[in-house]
Structure 1
Amino acid sequence: MSTYKIYTDQLTLIKEKPFKLEKEIQNIVEKNLQTLLGLDFIKTEFSIGTFRIDSLAFDSDKKSFVIIEYKRDKNFSVIDQGYAYLSLMLNNKAEFILEYNESKSGTLKRNDVDWSQSKVLFVSPNFTTYQKEAINFKDLPIELWEIKRFTNDTLSFEQIVNRSSKESIKTVSNSETITTVSKEIKVYSEQDHLENIEDDFLNIYAEIKEFLLSFGEDITIYPKKKTIGFKIGSKVFCDIVMQNKGIRLFLNAKKGTLKDPECITRDVSEVGHWGNGAYEVRFPLKSDTEMDYVFNLLRQTINKNKE
């Protein structure tokens, strides 16, 4: 897609300013991890044995580690290299926890980490068609992100989204590494949360989902182990917990920041819960007319997370 600058009704093409070194890409991403990916930076050039990880990050929402690799060349296998790094992590959990605690002055323990949601990100100005096709599996803990810099001091950062594949990487690979890693790491899908849910609540979820996605392409679905998250950019602004007899909707806003004169939300700011934020709405509602009221709460939450 071409981008143009407008000046007195005349268009000038904004040209790409290629990165000369992988290190340039790495520096930009590491300094802006929260803005770009919503991740906490842990370590640059993290070495274990003969392996060196470009960037080690932590997803505080999922309580999992994220490995980030930067590429300018196109001659590498995202599958082989990605699973090699995940295998390295699972076989060296203590070293990853130690690095986190030294970096964050924390007390993270092995059981505090959800290793099942670990993943690898590859960041590059370009990926080949083969590499893009290689990620078309429903359960692949590997993501591709394209980064481009332009002459007007702007940057694009976009995930290569795989097609809605129903095929599992485990069914097409005989790799021992992939088999071993797949026993511990699971990629959660939206559908995982919708199994065995009553139709009435599936319909409510579909209504909420349609409303949220109507706000534009910046809104994305973010399935996790316990919840279905919805993100605006890199921020999770709400979480939905699907249950057999109801739905729990968590709104990611600080206590006292949403206008709720009808008091239909529950204050969970000091209560342990799976979602983010201080507000909870439970379904079923007292009446169908309250759905518009919930939509207003969601609209407020989206606006708060844009600030």
Structure 2
Amino acid sequence: MSGLKLFHTTKSGVTEVAPRLAEVEADVQGLVEAHMETLLDVRFLASEYGTGPVHGGRVDSLGLDENGAPVIVEYKRGVDAGVINQGLFYLSWLVDHRVEFEHLVRDRLGAMAASQVLWSGPRLICVAGDFTRYDVHAVREHRRSIDLVRYRLFGSDLLGLETVASVSGGTLAPRRARRRAVARAGADLRDASMAELAHAVDEVLLGLGDGVNRVERKQYRAYQRLWNFACVCPPQRSKLLVYLKADPKEVDLVPGFTRDVTGLGHHGTGDLEVQLRTPRDVERAQDLFRASYAAA
């Protein structure tokens, strides 16, 4: 991985663990598919899925991400200039075959998951040994949700993944337009301060990095890099609930501010609940936001 060195430490010193590529592309695909939810937060649906006689190809992997968005994953052992175009070709096929995909989701994950597929944001994830600067530029020119993920193998049992580029579908509205949208969404709140609080959280989360994508669901708004790092629920009368991927066991929980919701049902994803009531709470939560962003 670019700029990363891994060392094995012992009492007698340190030894560098040299990075390497897989022997064949199928090795990368098999490893990711076997652990797709852990590695990409995507539920695995199918491998080498045939696209029929018209398209005449096979999608490497099909999946469904944590927000319900359809996902195509394409793999390359090393650098391959065609991986993005190939993935976009299959992404177009996917959008044209929604019913077929929903049947697949129903068969694998059940009727509830099939009824909640988020077609506003289908995604392409390209996993490869490396990407060129032209690849990174290309994904920024497409109005699709595309993630470029570089892999490296270390030793016999270590895998490294690095997000090289992550672009959401479409063009994000200017910051002022986003402010108006958030204000409109909160205009019917009995407490107008909650609308301002929601805007402040939106600004902070989007400002954590260039690769932050925002996904709208009915029950929550997700902020993601390769996977969700924060989910914001609609404002309540006196508080705003944010769920983070930060590990609650590594946080000094404060009653009325942070709570471990591991195993408890709630909208969105993440086991750390943050309760925001005032702008001061947003400031207090920023270290938690950054920790969750870094973990994603």
Question: What range describes the TM-score normalised by the shorter chain of this pair?
Answer: 0.5 to 0.7
Q: Is 1:56 aligned to 2:47, yes or no?
A: no
Show the counterpart of 1:248: 240
Q: Note the C-alpha offset of 1:91.
A: 1.2
Cα distance between partner residues in 2 of 1:161 and 1:58 = 20
Show the counterpart of 1:175: none
Contact 2:214 2:224 (C-alpha < 8 Å) held by counterparts: no
1:87-116 CA-partner distances (Å, limit 9, x unpaired): 101111111111112222x11587532111
Q: Is 1:225 aligned to 2:216, yes or no?
A: yes
Q: Is 1:239 aligned to 2:236, yes or no?
A: no
SS, match of residue 239 in structure 1: strand
- Selected match of 1:65 from 70, 79, 86: 70
1:295 maps to amino acid: A
Contact 1:58 1:64 (C-alpha < 8 Å) held by counterparts: yes
Show the counterpart of 1:124: 128
Map 1:86-97; keep pairs closer than 5 Å: 86-97=91-102
Cα distance between partner residues in 1 of 2:59 and 2:124 = 10
Could you state the TM-score of these two structures normalised by the residue count of structure 1? 0.66
Identity among equivalent pairs (%): 20
Q: Note the C-alpha offset of 1:299.
A: 4.4
Show the counterpart of 1:295: 285
Where do 5+ consecutive residues of structure 2 fail to align?
184-194
Contact 1:100 1:108 (C-alpha < 8 Å) held by counterparts: no
Show the counterpart of 2:189: none
Cα distance between partner residues in 1 of 2:113 and 2:230 = 27
Q: Note the C-alpha offset of 1:282.
A: 5.5
1:134 maps to amino acid: A
Q: Note the C-alpha offset of 1:208.
A: 5.1
Q: 1:247 to 1:209 in 2, by over 3 A?
A: farther
Q: 1:15 to 1:72 in 2, by over 3 A?
A: same
Q: Note the C-alpha offset of 1:10.
A: 4.2
Q: 1:247 to 1:114 in 2, by over 3 A?
A: farther
Contact 1:221 1:228 (C-alpha < 8 Å) held by counterparts: no
Cα distance between partner residues in 2 of 1:20 and 1:188 = 38
Cα distance between partner residues in 2 of 1:188 and 1:275 = 25
SS, match of residue 136 in structure 2: helix
Cα distance between partner residues in 1 of 2:221 and 2:131 = 29
**How many equivalent pairs are there?**
265
Show the counterpart of 1:47: 50
SS, match of residue 136 in structure 1: helix
Q: 1:82 to 1:35 in 2, by over 3 A?
A: same
2:285 maps to amino acid: F
Show the counterpart of 2:117: 113
Show the counterpart of 2:141: 137
Q: 1:2 to 1:115 in 2, by over 3 A?
A: closer
Could you state the TM-score of these two structures normalised by the residue count of structure 2? 0.68
SS, match of residue 152 in structure 2: strand
Q: 1:78 to 1:241 in 2, by over 3 A?
A: farther
Q: Is 1:3 aligned to 2:5, yes or no?
A: yes
Q: 1:14 to 1:188 in 2, by over 3 A?
A: same
Contact 2:106 2:114 (C-alpha < 8 Å) held by counterparts: no
Show the counterpart of 2:89: 84
